[in-house]
Every structure is written in structure tokens, then in C-alpha cells.
Structure 1
């Protein structure tokens, strides 16, 4: 079993973003049922965000409701929260004031029902030196026991190395999927392996492109937030669905579903020499999908090589993010 901050976590975690960060959030009782299903299936690393939703209903308010109903689950869950990016996720602020405001708000919304095991600044603030941001987080929050540790989100390899000289990094969260294997070659995975930092792989199903659920652009509701992502634009969407069929054929050949193949691949990557421990955090809202995502399949070395070859050869249409979403370069 992988460990984070000395706590065991399941091989697959759970991303909570889709429960609240959408134009039509699912009913709160359905969200709580989804979370309970995840935990019952061993997905106890939960990843959430201060800005996943509205000020009135977001990851933290949902988590508070969940642990109010199931207080016995608080110690079973390893909770990672992203913040310091404004309530709309587009105003990166790693300043002392920005970090304090974000962490304090998250703690206040949780009402003491659950410890924040990992706090991550959602993006690096180019205007604030890392030593300033981490100085506040470490001295005022980790050392005082208000949070368990500090993670990194959407960073490049040089940032990981720079941060590791300042603090103990609990985990690095980056996008990794068969459609986005970039971190395996750009030094990020190598840095995590060298420094023995777990890599948390978000969007292992490429925001639904690797689920088999979408057959045409018409399957996306007009209100779906996916429309802002370039890979879901009309000129790219169908081409990407056609690419997904290559992996769907491999899953069919193996006798598993496409999501099970895609998620299991991210974990199998850990077996390669010089690779870090990888923990994927797929998000789903329906218990049946959550259960499906939790069921892993064994990927042989030959299958791993075939999947890696296909992942590197395909040309996914569109960038990962629209230009207005900041990155670490």
C-alpha cells in the first residue's frame, strides 16, 4: 500500500471536484453517497479544492457535511486541499496574506470535523518566492499542527527540486493519463522518484475522454464546464474520441473497461525503473462508476510497453488548458 505522511492510502484515490464544481451540482445526499462508496472501495486519499464550487457550496462545505454524518470516517481519509488561488481558481496568491486567508477559510469551513492532511497551493505564484509561501505554511500551520503537510500542484521539475530544499513535500499533484503522459518525460516524474515523493495523478481519464461515455459533442450538456477546455472544442473533440477508440480496443482485448485500463496504467508506470509511486485520483459522481474505477487490472510488461508506445505516438488535439488558466510553465 502507498503511504503519504506515514498514512496508508489505497492504490486509487478519489477526486471530489466534479461533485461541486459544476453549473448543476449533484444533490448533497448523492454527493455524500458517492464519497461513502469511494471510501468503502478503498479510495481513501481524497483530493478537493477551496474553489471547487461557490462560496456557499464547495468541497469544504460538502466535506463538513460528510464528516458530520460519518464522524468515524475522519481518521480513515487522507485529505488533500488545493487553495491559494482565489475563489475562482484564477487568482494565484502565494503571499503570506493570501496563504493565511486560504488555509484559515478552509479550516473554518471544515469546523474541526477533519484535519487537512495536505495543503497545496493550486499553482505557483510567480510574484512570491517559494521560501516566503512555504515559510508561512510550515511555521504557522504545519509546525503548529493545523495542517499535516505541504504538497505541490501543477509544477515543473525545477520547482520540485527548489521546494524540496525548503520543506518536506508530502506529494506532487500533476495531470497524468494516456492522453497526457508528459510528466513521464519532462523531468517531473523523475524528480518525484529521486526525492521519493508520491505523484498524485489527476485526470487519469482525461476529463472523460477515456471513459467511453462520450460518443459525440452532443453528449456534453450546454452548461458543461468541459466546453472551456481546448480538447473539447468542436474542432478537436471528435478527433480525440477517435484516438480513445485505440485504447478502447486494447481494453476490450484485455477484458476490462477503458477506465480500468487507463487507471491501472498510471499505477503500472510505477514499476518502471526510476519512476515514483503514482496514485491516480479519478473523479466520478455515480456509485457504479466509482466502483468500476476502483477495480484494477494487472498490466503486464508487454502491455505496459504497448500502451506507452501508443500514448507517445498519438497526437491529441488541443491543449490541456485554456490560456486563462495559469501554469508553472
Structure 2
């Protein structure tokens, strides 16, 4: 398998592989497994194999664990920090006992507290890409981004990004300090950024796009056949898209994707990733297993014709997927 290509992420000078690695599932979150059982040794081995494939763009957040994910990455990259591009996120408030309060905090003082904590957890002097995980509705975005800009001036952060921000917020933030990347959920099953003005705004301002959950939180892999296939503590049980009638409606859409994948002799996951990559986006599929990492990496070599892209997009136009992508509490935190 050849080393994957690199691309400019945004217009501020950051170069990354066309596909990164989402690390969230490598540790538990608030004591619960995210996508099946987490295994630290397996996660570290996957990060090492990713580097061999040219996937040196790792995505984490202080939320994951909390803190455990950043610490796992520190172990994995020890002695090789300069070979990796590390992106982490802050904003979900974590108290001094390392407990989540489940509030969003974008206050300048909390920005400062968060970066010092992440630098320590990641055992590094600088974060390559530092995202605001969610927009704090009670703090002007100009104040949050102003504090993030100070971190760039101090050399603690190289580039800054936002996650799940609205087009209006992106513009306000970018006016304070250049935003390098926006992270948002985006996949064949979640196409809202195409219709809410976000993608248009990113193109206009020269901001890179980093879709997370490009495989629809594992739905497109085809390994989940029923809502009962999820472990009792799997957080997808809380997501309307995976519940009851919605699940089976979405399964019908997946059957058509599976058919197209079979015709092209690729897996449904690879087809879905190739579609995301065709949008000049840097996908960060999450996995903690080398087998899936290698399958995902192979998707970077798949070329899709205009006809194939049109076929895929006609199966699941924006808004057709049944059920929200988060529960009500979490939906309140997106597109702010």
C-alpha cells in the first residue's frame, strides 16, 4: 500500500494527509466505551501503523476520557512527536477533578486553562491545530478566538479551528484571526453543511473542511444489522438515527450504497470515504484497529466518476436520512 497523498488544509500554511485518524474510540468517555471496547495497546499500535501509511494527522480532544485520549496519544508518539500533526479540541468544560460538567466554556480564562492542560497531557510544547469543540453561546466568539489567537502568538498553538459552528459564527471568528479548519459531522448520511451555508462560507474564506464521522458513526460499514447490535453502554443507542423505525429506514438507503460498492468492487466504507474525499475535504475516520485503518487508507486511491458521484448523491439527498444525528441535548450545541 503506497503512502497517501498530502494536501493543504485551508489557506494558512498547514499541510496534512488527505485522510487523518480519529482517535476518540481508543479510550472510554466518562467510563463508557464509545464504539465497542477500548484497548490501549491496540490503539497505540494503530497510531504507529497509521504513521507508516502516511496518516500522521491525529485528531483528539480533552473531552475524550476526559483527558485519557490525549494521554494515550502522548504514549504513542513518544520520541516521534515531530513526525505527527496533532489536532485537539477544548470547550466542553472539565473541572479541576477531571470531571465533565457538560457545560460549554469559551471564556478566555478557560481557553488558557485548557491549552496548558492539553500541552501537559500530550507531553508537547505546541499543538498543531487547536479547535474550539463547541461554540459557547454565552461568550462572544470574538473573545474566545481572541484568546486562541494569543496562544498562536505565544507559540503554543500553530493553527486554530472551530467545530460545529454556523456560517455566521465562522465569519465573525475569521475576522478576529484566520481560521484554518472547520470540523463538522459530514457523510453520505449527514449532508447539512451543503445546505446551511457552511461549505460555501469555507470556500469563500479559504478555510479547510475536516469531516468527522464520515462513515455515519459506523452505520455505513454495514456491521450493524439491528439496534440491538450495540453494546448496552454504546452511546449510539442515544442517537435518534439509530433508534427504532429510523434505523430500518436508513438501512434501506444503505442497501443501495452497498450495491454501488459491489459494482465497483470496494467496500461500502471505502466508497463512502472516497465520496467525502471528492469534496476537497480531509476526512478523519475513527478506528482503533489496524485492519480498518488499512481499509480506510485504501479509499484514498479510489477515483469516482461524475456519474458515480451523482448516483451516490441521489440515493441520500440532504435531509433524507431518518432521525437526528444527536440527542436533543447535543443538537442544541451544533450550528451555533
TM-score above 0.5 = yes
Matched residue SS, 1:317: coil
Distance in 1 (CA, whole Å) between partners of 2:247 and 2:211 is 22
Kept after mapping to 2: 8 A contact 1:7/1:78: no
**What does residue range 53-132 of structure 1 map to in structure 2 within 5 Å?**
53-55=65-67, 58-68=68-78, 71-72=79-80, 74-87=81-94, 88=100, 90-112=102-124, 115-132=126-143
User: Which structure 2 segments of 5+ residues have no match?
Assistant: 1-5, 95-99
In the alignment, does 2:147 pair up with 1:136?
yes
**What does residue range 138-153 of structure 1 map to in structure 2 within 5 Å?**
138-139=149-150, 141-153=151-163
Deviation at 1:307, TM superposition (A): 1.3
Kept after mapping to 1: 8 A contact 2:261/2:267: yes
Deviation at 1:164, TM superposition (A): 1.3
**What does residue range 92-241 of structure 1 map to in structure 2 within 5 Å?**
92-112=104-124, 115-139=126-150, 141-241=151-251
1:198–1:89 CA distance, 2 compared to 1 (3 A):
farther
Deviation at 1:206, TM superposition (A): 0.5
User: Which structure 1 segments of 5+ residues have no match?
Assistant: 271-277
Kept after mapping to 2: 8 A contact 1:202/1:280: yes
Deviation per residue, 1:259-283 (Å, 9 max, x gap): 100000011123xxxxxxx111100
Deviation per residue, 1:131-170 (Å, 9 max, x gap): 211111112x110101112101001111111111111111
Distance in 2 (CA, whole Å) between partners of 1:89 and 1:20 is 19
Deviation at 1:51, TM superposition (A): 0.8
Distance in 2 (CA, whole Å) between partners of 1:281 and 1:79 is 12
Tell me which residue corresponds to 1:274: none
Tell me which residue corresponds to 2:320: 315
Tell me which residue corresponds to 2:291: 288
Matched residue SS, 1:249: helix
Structure 1, 11-20 or 79-88: larger mean CA deviation: 79-88
TM-score, reference length from structure 1? 0.91
Distance in 2 (CA, whole Å) between partners of 1:223 and 1:36 is 28
Matched residue SS, 1:269: coil
Deviation at 1:226, TM superposition (A): 1.1
Dislocated runs of 4+, deviation >6 Å: none
Distance in 1 (CA, whole Å) between partners of 2:318 and 2:121 is 45
Deviation at 1:8, TM superposition (A): 2.7
**What does residue range 30-69 of structure 1 map to in structure 2 within 5 Å?**
30-55=42-67, 58-68=68-78
Kept after mapping to 2: 8 A contact 1:82/1:122: yes
Kept after mapping to 2: 8 A contact 1:243/1:314: no
Tell me which residue corresponds to 1:9: 16
Matched residue SS, 2:279: helix
TM-score, reference length from structure 2? 0.89
Deviation per residue, 1:71-101 (Å, 9 max, x gap): 22x2222111111212338311010122112
1:280–1:89 CA distance, 2 compared to 1 (3 A):
farther
Kept after mapping to 2: 8 A contact 1:16/1:47: yes
Distance in 2 (CA, whole Å) between partners of 1:97 and 1:8 is 30
Kept after mapping to 2: 8 A contact 1:12/1:42: no
Deviation at 1:65, TM superposition (A): 1.0
1:136–1:169 CA distance, 2 compared to 1 (3 A):
same
Number of equivalences: 315
Structure 1, 249-258 or 209-218: larger mean CA deviation: 209-218
Deviation at 1:314, TM superposition (A): 7.3
